[in-house]
Every structure is written in structure tokens, then in C-alpha cells.
């Protein structure tokens, strides 16, 4: 995972956050995971990076979305 990639996760206060890997603070704070992902996805698309969505119950990654940093030899 690159320092330019983003994570969507649930904070201790129950709010969902979107944060760049290298950042000290979240770029996005939202009430729902869907809202946090939507806003974070826009940032990732602008920077051509990846978004990892974490589960709220255990923090494990449940899904990843890539925007522009896939190898050119990848099919599909």
C-alpha cells in the first residue's frame, strides 16, 4: 500500500473516516460508511490511488477499489 492510498474506517466515536495513508488526520468524516467511501473515492480518483474499506466490527479490510494505479498488463 502506498502512502497516497486511502483507508475508510470507523473511529472510536462511531463516525466513519476517510484518511490518506500518510496523513495524520482524516480528510473525510461522515455518519455512514457509504458517505465516507463516496467522498474518499473522489479524492482517490483525483490522485489515481487506492481505497481500502475496513469493517466496523473488527477493522479488517473487506474491500479495495483502485483508481488508476493498476498495471497495464492486467486484463479487464
- pLDDT tens for 20-47 read 999 999 999 999 999 999 999 999 999 9
Q: What is the pTM of this model?
A: 0.86
Domains identified in the chain, total number: 1
Q: Is 32 exposed, middle or buried (0-12, 13-18, 19+ CB in 10 A)?
A: exposed
Domain membership of residue 18 (yes or no) is yes
Q: Which domain holds residue 50?
A: 6-55
CA distance 41 to 12: 22
Q: In this predicted structure, what is the pLDDT of residue 70? A: 64
Q: In this predicted structure, what is the pLDDT of residue 68? A: 80
Confidence of residue 2 (pLDDT cuts 50, 70, 90): confident
How confident is the model over 53-76, as pLDDT tens digits?
A: 999 999 999 999 999 866 666 565
Domain membership of residue 67 (yes or no) is no
CA distance 29 to 17: 5
C-alpha cell at 8: 475508510
CA distance 62 to 47: 22
Amino acid at each position: 500500500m502506498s502512502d497516497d492510498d486511502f483507508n475508510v474506517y470507523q473511529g472510536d466515536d462511531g463516525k466513519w473516516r476517510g484518511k490518506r495513508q500518510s496523513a495524520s488526520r482524516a480528510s473525510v468524516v461522515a455518519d455512514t460508511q457509504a458517505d465516507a467511501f463516496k467522498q474518499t473515492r473522489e479524492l482517490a480518483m483525483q490522485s489515481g490511488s487506492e481505497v481500502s474499506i475496513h469493517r466496523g466490527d473488527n477493522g479488517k479490510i473487506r474491500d479495495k477499489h483502485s483508481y488508476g494505479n493498476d498495471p497495464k498488463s492486467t486484463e479487464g
